[in-house]
Amino acid sequence: MSRVYLDNAATTPLDPEVLKEMYKVMETQYGNPSSIHAHGREVRTLIERSRKTIANLLHTSPAEIFFTSGGTEADNTAIRCGIIDHGITHAITSRLEHHAVIHTLEAMEKAGTIKLSFVDTDNKGNINYNHLEELLQNNERSFVSLMHANNEIGTLTDIERVGDLCEQYNAIFHCDTVQTMGHYPHDLSKLKVHFLVCAAHKLHGPKGVGFLHVNHRIKIKPMIYGGSQERNMRGGTENVYGIVGLAKALEIAYTEMDDHQQHIQGLKTYMMDRLKNEIPGLHFNGETDPDKSLYTVLSVSFPEMDMADMLLFNLDIAGISASGGSACSSGTDIGSHVLTAIGANPSRPSVRFSFSKYNTKEDVDFAVNKIREICLAKV
């Protein structure tokens, strides 16, 4: 059976060039990078070369790049260490953030470490910047954690504006850029951010590796203690193959960024047009303006139907891999906290379709045709 993969916001296929780069290391470079002999030094060189590649692409210093196991560890490190090591007692986030952020901050509030404030957002997921400024004005020095693009609905946040506000009020700014790294350019010589996060598997790199950018203006202690790896900032033997793959994936992403953005935005627009024509009564969640929305993500709320909770299962049976989740209809339901926060109708099933450079118009046509069959049968 034919299958179409439209869940690239969850993870992306590994680029063959990345795999080739990783395989060379797996096959011949097996030394421990902490060892001082030749085998170890060769591998250490690979890590530092990868760090320099990433730093050059982001216009920052290699000393500000710390490799992690992925986005969740990087978020936790930035939040916990940024708050505790600087004596911060107030944090600001939104109800649309990834659970790696919200759950960490809520746990710290429950422990009595911080008071947590949520900035207002509208029904498309846009930050209320005036409310953000009020929260910054009316509290002691704050820790602000806001993502660049929402992973479920794709709405973009103006992180330059957030950075300016944080600088004005002496706040610490942590930004989860997991969904936008490799899809938009990030110039860290200009962006006023203290912590920035990446996960390789979101940009056709390997799973289990990412990095945390820590601006030189801020100092933190390690969250993971052990050896002296990552300049005493993260104990544990480095994931060498993953780090090499991450650097290669980001290098490819920056080289091909404009072409891929044009291609993927075209697919998203094409799918939106086809769905509007084929499925009466559907609704797109989040921003639809291309300048305000992540071009890889399309969130769709379909009309109410019998067995709405089976839509994603039926899509899978039909050969379409996507992500789903409707808004919570009660306090006991487990649904999408993002869709609930923007006031989505809980009786309408929602699906997130997300695209990559490997998708085609034929993929979209296949998916829309199957979706039409399922929806018309279930309405």
Q: Which residues are catalytic?
A: 328
Which alpha helices (DSSP H) does the chain contain, by range? 16-28, 38-58, 71-84, 99-110, 129-137, 159-168, 229-232, 240-278, 311-317, 337-341, 361-378
- Concatenated DSSP letters of 237-290: ---HHHHHHHHHHHHHHHHHHHHHHHHHHHHHHHHHHHHHHHSTT-EEES--ST
Contacts of 269 (CB under 8 A, 6+ apart): 290
User: String of b and e for 17-39 (b: at least 16 CB within 10 Å)?
Assistant: ebbebbeebeeebebebeeeeee
Q: What are phi and psi of 196, to 5 degrees?
A: -140, 145
> Do residues 139 and 117 lie in contact, with contact meaning Cβ atoms separated by under 8 Å?
yes
Q: In terms of Cα–Cα distance, which of 342, 351, 340, 346 is closest to 375?
A: 351
d(CA 305, CA 346): 12
CA distance 133 to 165: 7
For residue 132, the 8-state DSSP code is H
Residues 119, 143: Cα–Cα separation, whole Å:
12
Task: Compute the 3-state secondary structure of the chain and give helix, strand, coil in percent, each to the nearest 5.
Answer: 40, 15, 40
The residues facing 127 across adjacent strands are 121
Q: How far apart are CA 57 and CA 185, in angstroms?
A: 8
Distance CA 203, CA 179 (A): 8
Question: Are the C-beta atoms of 338 and 152 separated by less than 8 Å?
Answer: yes
Alpha carbon distance 9, 183 (integer Å): 12
Residue 214 to residue 66: CA distance in whole angstroms: 8
